[in-house]
Structures are given as C-alpha cells and as structure tokens.
C-alpha cells in the first residue's frame, strides 16, 4: 500500500462503539478476559478447552520448544463427535444444520441428525475403501453438502483431509495429491458455476493420471446427465451407490490432541504450495471459540459465511467452527450474480440470515453493481457482519455498514491466515469500538506485535512487520513433509517470533491496521498466489524465455496480477500470444491465477548478480518515478520498459 494511503487510513476518525444489545448479551462481554489471559495464557486456554467434549482429559496444557508446540498433551477427543454427536444427543437433533441452495435453485435442508447419519455412513465407506487412521484423503468438489460430510467423515476415522479448491486445475490438484500421497480422491461429476458446468471429474481424471497414490475415486453425482464424466471400472465409484449399503454407525476414533486433523495447501514465496498442518484439539478449540465470540453465535442464529470450503475460511467458518457451536448455516453452491446480482440478498431475506460473512473483494464488487440490488430485499434479519481475507478499505467498510447492515450491524474485520487457524486480530461485537478498516486488536491470549527490521518492537503510531510472540492452540504445527520449511518460513526472520508476512501499523490507541503482504505473495480477490507460481507457469510455455510477476493495486480484486515476459528469440510478440499466455497460466494453476495484464519486455531489469528487480517493475506498474537503479546490470533496460509501459 502506498504511504499516502496509509496516512489516510490512520487519520480515519470515525468510531463505532458496541451497540447496547451486544454489550449486554454478547457471548463475550467481559473486558477483563484480556488481562486474565495475559497473566496466565495456559490457564486461560485450559479453562476454555473445558467447553469441548473430551474422551479423556489432557495431562499437560502446553509443551513449547520454539517453534514446536504441543497443546493439551495426553487428551483424547474426536472432532466430528464435537460437531455432531454432542448436538444429536440434545434438542438440537432435528435442528437445521445446513440450509443448502444449489445455483440452479434446488434446495436441501440437512438437520444435525441428517449430517451425523451421512457422516457416519461415509466414514464407513472410507474404511471400506481401505482408508485408515493417518491416511490422506483428497477432496475436490464444489460447494455441495457432500464436501462437508466427507471432511467430517475423515476426521471421524482419523484420516487427514486435504481439500483442493474446485477452481484449481488438474495439474494443481495432482501436485497437491502427490505431496500428500493421498489414497482416495472424492470429487463430483461436475459443479454449477455461473450457469456453466465445472468439469470436476474430467480434471480429476487428468490429475489422477499423474498421481499414482490414488487407489479409489469417489464421485458425487451433482450435474447428472449434463456431465461428460466417465467412470473407470474398479477405480471409480458413485458416492450414492457406496452410501446405499453403508452401515449407519461408525465409532468415532479416539484421537490424540496432537493427531493431525487436516492439511490445506497455501502459497508461499516459492513456486511450490505448502501443506499447512493443523491438529485436532488446538484447532477445534480455536475455531469453536472464535465463532462463538467473534460471530456471537446463539441458538437462534442463521449464519452464512459466503466463502468456499476450498479455502481456510470455509474450513473454520463453515465446516468446523459453526458446527462445533451447533448453529444453523446457509450454504450456497454458485455465483453471487446468478441468475442476477441480488442472489445473496434474496437468500438473506428468504432464510432470515442473522450473521453474514464475506470478503472485501466481494463487497467492492457489490458496490460496483449498485445499491439497488440489496435495496430490493428485506435485510432486517441481519445483526452482525464479517469481513476476511484482505485489508478492507474504509469506503467498502462504510458501504457494507450502510447498505447491508443498515447501520445496525457491527462489522467484524478479522485478520488471520491459513496458518493461524482462526482470527487472531479481530473485534468482538460486545466489547470493541470499531474503526472502519482496522482489524482492531488481538484475540485474548494472543500476543501480537509490530517490529522493525531488527525485530525490535515499534512504539504505538509506528509501522513494521506483524509478528506473534506466543504460541496459541490453533497454530499450524508444521508444513506437511517439510519441517525445515516451517522453521525457515515462519520462525527464522525474527528468532522466537512467528513472522506472518504482513506489514502493519498501530495507532495511538493500539489498534492494528493491516497493510498487505511484505513478501512475494499476492492477494488476489482474497486468494493467496505467489509471484513465483505464476512465473513458473509462464516460463513453462514454449514461447517464454523469462517472466517476472508482480501484484498491482486493483480496484475490486485488491491486487491484480501483472506479468512481464521476455520471449524466446524468433517468437513474435503478438496480441494473440498475450491471450494464449494468460490462458496457459489459467490452465496450469486455475482461473484465479490468470494475469490481468501481460507485457512484453525485450529484457527484464536485473541486478548484476542476476536477480530480477521486482521492485522496479512495481514502480513501473504503479506509474511511479523509478527508485534507485544503480545496482542494475543495465539501467537502460528498465528505462526502456517504463517508456514502453506508458505507451500501452
């Protein structure tokens, strides 16, 4: 973010104190919690952990051998038991767990008992396919209830799921399956998106060709005759056929607190995504508490997190946190502008949604579409709103507050990461005075700080790198199969501190203002994509000699992808080739990684030691004066490039 934009942010003077009803009856309304948690963090977390159902209590709260953490040592529990069985034993048994709407308009309501039954059955199906405790299962589906059912079925038997977003390409899927050596893949015959069909099974078939660890593929029938999916005898099985004979009860596995729950791939600064590892007790506790406290989940709430389960937000705010709280949720399969741009607001009205959670990029899109779409619907059931995934700008915050919340709904701007498990810098609706575009302050028990290059804490009013100075239960434990990368990425920049990769400032009241990534990770529509991933996809094309990719400020997406490529000698730089290269990236990684802009460069600016100077490319793309070019091998390269960019 540009310096002037940061200053404007910090001058943001508007404040929104908690409304009285939240102050009185918010799930968290004791401001003393922070002090108590700071005095005795382990005692604080242990007290909260009593709210979970344990088969056997823990012997020790924490073992911290930085950066290796173990929480609730010796405890035994099961996540699906905590999200399902404990509700099914109560009056919640026939309460709606999931109110699902397909993009074409079909509806399904699953009660807690329904989900519990399907989870038990699918857990038995997985066992029947030879899946054992600790085995990895890859899930590549659209937003259908079967995805959530399969995730709980995995954790019921102690298998580790690895969900791959349905928008990723066959190659991305295959890479993730191979890294995890997954035994079983669950996919669909297709999914609906903006009126067209996503060819999940076709991609899955292509992926499995280069993923020899896959023994079985289970296919959910979603689009039926509209699909061109073919089944491979012996390897592929229809979900509904396997489920027809599956026994209804599956004993939940007694999992150790530190047993792995899932792995989820996210982009880092290198070309290869990393599998973030979360474990059973710590993650469950974190997501249970965060949903209860930040989203104030109550018995009568209808919660809707409009994220995709393929990202961590969907894990934490659809599959695990809300279900551990026993709340009713809305789940939607498709696009927000299908058949029209009021689809989400129509659904809020139809189902009486009380808490709605989305991303700033979506809010900015709604702003562009215009206020008439939300205005056409009665949104008065809403009482609380959420935002996640990227910095929200004050204009978007105010628009959300006025046109969706009708000035009655506090907005929870939640900062967190795949790695942190749940929001760590976040408001609480009964306690926090909000400032538009600030994620406010740390979660109780969490010690966040801002440090300078040397790792010294920066006084209030200053900016630097966001770090976390104390372990927390839902923190990642490692990177799958790559413990060195865990240490190197998160714990080496500043010894003894978790390096988040985000820049931040703190105002005089101690409020945190997140300013975006400080590494080579781009945040495109709230999705993490590394510049190196896109560069590798570009150089994979036969016409490309070299590529450099940067994130460029984008009005709706937050950041757009801007690529500079130099071509193999003899290849012509035509407009057709621009389209082909953009399509090539989409095919290699997925449509989310398709470059917004692509420029030809005769040469890329490099230092004398051969490193591409992305900083200069960023200056060119942002239309700024070029910074220091003295370390360049050939300063004329960048001057020429700037001239050419400005001409286009």
Is residue 417 a contact residue for ligand WTA (CB under 6 A)?
Answer: yes
Instruction: Give CA separation, 428 vs 9, 292, 415, 432, 514, in Å.
Output: 21, 10, 13, 5, 17
CA distance 13 to 574: 50
Name residue, tokens 């009013």. Answer: 461
Q: How far is the CB of 324 from ligand WTA (least distance, A)?
A: 18
**Looking at beta carbons only, is 327 or 439 nearer to ligand WTA?**
439
Q: How far is the CB of 614 from ligand WTA (least distance, A)?
A: 17
- Of 201-209, 320-328, 516-524, 605-613: span binding ligand WTA (CB under 6 A): 516-524
Q: Which of 405, 364, 366, 365 is nearest to 386 (CA)?
A: 405
DSSP H/E element including 202:
helix 200-209
Is residue 343 a contact residue for ligand WTA (CB under 6 A)?
Answer: no
Name residue, tokens 């997190």. Answer: 305
Q: How far is the CB of 528 from ligand WTA (least distance, A)?
A: 5
What part of residues 70-99 is at the interface with ligand WTA (CB under 6 A)? none
- Of 7-15, 72-80, 412-420, 566-574: span binding ligand WTA (CB under 6 A): 412-420
Q: How far is the CB of 477 from ligand WTA (least distance, A)?
A: 16
**Looking at beta carbons only, is 199 or 286 nearer to ligand WTA?**
286
The 457-496 site mask, x for binding ligand WTA (CB under 6 A), equals ----------------------------------------
CA distance 262 to 33: 30
Contact 63, 69 (CB under 8 A): yes
Q: Which of 225, 218, 22 is nearest to 131 (CA)?
A: 218
**Looking at beta carbons only, is 334 or 389 nearer to ligand WTA?**
389
Q: How far is the CB of 503 from ligand WTA (least distance, A)?
A: 9
**Looking at beta carbons only, is 142 or 501 nearer to ligand WTA?**
501
Is residue 391 a contact residue for ligand WTA (CB under 6 A)?
Answer: yes
Number of residues in contact with ligand WTA, rule: CB under 6 A? 23
Is residue 502 a contact residue for ligand WTA (CB under 6 A)?
Answer: yes
Q: How far is the CB of 109 from ligand WTA (least distance, A)?
A: 28
Is residue 501 a contact residue for ligand WTA (CB under 6 A)?
Answer: yes
Cis peptide upstream of residue 67 (ω within 30 degrees of 0) = yes
Cis peptide upstream of residue 452 (ω within 30 degrees of 0) = no
> Which is it for strands 96-101 and 328-332: parallel, antiparallel or unpaired?
parallel
Is residue 389 a contact residue for ligand WTA (CB under 6 A)?
Answer: yes
Is residue 439 a contact residue for ligand WTA (CB under 6 A)?
Answer: yes
Q: What is 479-548 written as a DSSP string?
A: ETT-HHHHHHHHHTTTTTSEEEEEEEEE-TT--EEEEEESSSEEEETTEEEEHHHHHHHHHTSTTEEEEE
**Looking at beta carbons only, is 466 or 638 nearer to ligand WTA?**
466
Instruction: Give CA separation, 447 vs 177, 459, 461, 503, 589, in Å.
Output: 35, 15, 18, 16, 36
DSSP H/E element including 346:
helix 343-351
**Looking at beta carbons only, is 469 or 640 nearer to ligand WTA?**
469
Contact 613, 579 (CB under 8 A): no
| CB-based burial, 511-523: b 16+ in 10 Å, e otherwise | bbbbbbbbbbbbb
Is residue 416 a contact residue for ligand WTA (CB under 6 A)?
Answer: yes
- Of 112-120, 202-210, 230-238, 411-419: span binding ligand WTA (CB under 6 A): 411-419
CA distance 539 to 566: 9
Out of 162, 169, 414, 566, which residue is the one contacting ligand WTA (CB under 6 A)? 414
- Of 247-255, 328-336, 471-479, 511-519: span binding ligand WTA (CB under 6 A): 511-519
Q: How far is the CB of 511 from ligand WTA (least distance, A)?
A: 12
Is residue 449 a contact residue for ligand WTA (CB under 6 A)?
Answer: no
**Looking at beta carbons only, is 444 or 605 nearer to ligand WTA?**
444
Is residue 173 a contact residue for ligand WTA (CB under 6 A)?
Answer: no
Contact 353, 297 (CB under 8 A): no
Instruction: Give CA separation, 434 vs 428, 437, 543, in Å.
Output: 9, 9, 51
Name residue, tokens 């709210």. Answer: 51
Contact 605, 613 (CB under 8 A): yes
Is residue 265 a contact residue for ligand WTA (CB under 6 A)?
Answer: no
Q: How far is the CB of 560 from ligand WTA (least distance, A)?
A: 16
Out of 528, 541, 557, 614, which residue is the one contacting ligand WTA (CB under 6 A)? 528
- Of 101-109, 209-217, 512-520, 544-552: span binding ligand WTA (CB under 6 A): 512-520
**Looking at beta carbons only, is 328 or 525 nearer to ligand WTA?**
525
**Looking at beta carbons only, is 527 or 541 nearer to ligand WTA?**
527
Out of 295, 415, 428, 499, which residue is the one contacting ligand WTA (CB under 6 A)? 415
DSSP H/E element including 466:
strand 463-468
The 300-329 site mask, x for binding ligand WTA (CB under 6 A), equals -----------xxx----------------
Rg (CA), the chain: 24
Is residue 390 a contact residue for ligand WTA (CB under 6 A)?
Answer: yes
Is residue 523 a contact residue for ligand WTA (CB under 6 A)?
Answer: yes
Q: How far is the CB of 204 from ligand WTA (least distance, A)?
A: 23
Out of 214, 388, 544, 550, which residue is the one contacting ligand WTA (CB under 6 A)? 388
Contact 427, 412 (CB under 8 A): yes
Longest dimension (CA), the chain: 73
Give the footprint of ligand WTA on this chain (CB under 6 A).
266, 311-313, 388-391, 413-418, 439, 500-502, 514, 516-517, 523, 528
């Amino acid at each position: 973010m540009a310096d002037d934009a940061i200053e404007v942010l910090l001058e943001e003077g508007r404040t929104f104190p908690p409304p009285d009803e939240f102050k009185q009856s918010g799930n968290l309304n004791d401001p003393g919690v922070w002090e108590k948690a700071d005095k005795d963090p382990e005692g604080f977390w242990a007290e909260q952990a009593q709210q979970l159902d344990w088969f056997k209590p823990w012997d020790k709260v924490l073992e911290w051998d930085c950066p290796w953490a173990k929480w609730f040592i010796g405890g035994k529990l099961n996540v699906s038991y905590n999200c399902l069985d404990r509700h099914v034993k109560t009056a919640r048994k026939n309460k709606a767990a999931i109110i699902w709407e397909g993009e074409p308009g079909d509806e399904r309501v699953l009660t807690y008992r329904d989900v519990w039954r399907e989870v038990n059955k699918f857990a038995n199906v997985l066992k029947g396919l030879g899946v054992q405790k600790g085995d990895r299962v890859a899930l590549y589906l659209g937003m259908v209830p079967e995805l959530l059912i399969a995730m709980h079925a995995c954790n019921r038997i102690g298998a580790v799921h690895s969900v791959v977003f349905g928008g990723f390409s066959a190659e991305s899927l295959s890479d993730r399956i191979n890294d995890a050596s997954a035994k079983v893949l669950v996919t669909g015959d297709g999914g609906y998106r903006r009126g067209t069909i996503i060819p999940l099974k076709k991609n899955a078939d292509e992926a499995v060709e280069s993923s020899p660890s896959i023994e079985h593929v289970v296919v959910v029938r979603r689009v039926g005759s509209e699909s061109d999916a073919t089944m491979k005898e012996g390897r592929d099985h229809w979900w509904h056929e396997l489920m027809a004979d599956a026994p209804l009860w599956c004993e939940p596995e007694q999992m150790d607190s530190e047993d792995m729950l899932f792995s989820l791939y996210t982009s880092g600064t290198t070309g290869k995504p990393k599998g973030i590892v979360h474990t059973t007790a710590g993650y469950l506790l974190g997501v249970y508490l965060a949903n209860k406290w930040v989203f104030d989940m109550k018995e009568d709430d209808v919660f809707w997190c409009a994220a995709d389960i393929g990202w961590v937000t969907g894990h934490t705010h659809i599959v695990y946190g809300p279900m551990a709280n026993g709340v009713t949720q809305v789940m939607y399969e498709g696009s927000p502008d299908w058949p029209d741009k009021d689809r989400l607001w129509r659904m809020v009205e139809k189902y009486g949604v009380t808490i709605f959670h989305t991303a700033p990029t979506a809010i900015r899109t709604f702003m562009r579409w215009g206020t008439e779409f939300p205005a056409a619907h009665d949104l008065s059931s809403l009482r609380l709103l959420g935002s996640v995934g990227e910095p929200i700008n004050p204009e978007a915050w105010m628009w959300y507050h006025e046109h969706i919340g009708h000035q009655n709904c506090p907005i929870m701007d939640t900062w967190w990461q795949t790695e942190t498990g749940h929001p760590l810098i976040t408001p609480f609706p009964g306690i926090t005075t909000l400032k538009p575009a600030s994620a406010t302050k740390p979660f109780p028990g969490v010690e966040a700080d801002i440090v300078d290059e040397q790792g010294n804490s920066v006084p209030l009013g200053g900016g630097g790198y966001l770090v976390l100075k104390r372990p927390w239960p839902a923190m990642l434990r490692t990177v799958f199969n790559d413990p060195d990368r865990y240490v190197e990425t998160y714990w080496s920049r500043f010894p003894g501190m978790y390096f988040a990769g985000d820049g931040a400032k703190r105002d005089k009241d101690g409020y945190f203002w997140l300013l975006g990534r400080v590494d080579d990770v781009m945040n495109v529509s709230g999705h993490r994509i590394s510049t190196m991933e896109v560069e590798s996809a570009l150089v994979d094309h036969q016409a490309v000699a070299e590529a450099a990719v940067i994130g460029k400020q984008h009005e709706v997406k937050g950041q757009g992808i801007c690529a500079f490529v130099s071509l193999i000698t003899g290849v012509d730089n035509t407009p057709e080739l621009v389209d082909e290269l953009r399509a090539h990236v989409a095919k290699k990684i997925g449509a989310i990684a398709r470059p917004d802009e692509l420029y030809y460069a005769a040469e890329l600016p490099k230092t004398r030691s051969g490193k591409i100077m992305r900083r200069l490319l960023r200056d060119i793309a942002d239309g700024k004066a070029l910074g220091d070019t003295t370390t360049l091998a050939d300063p004329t390269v960048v001057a020429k490039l700037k001239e050419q960019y400005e001409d286009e």
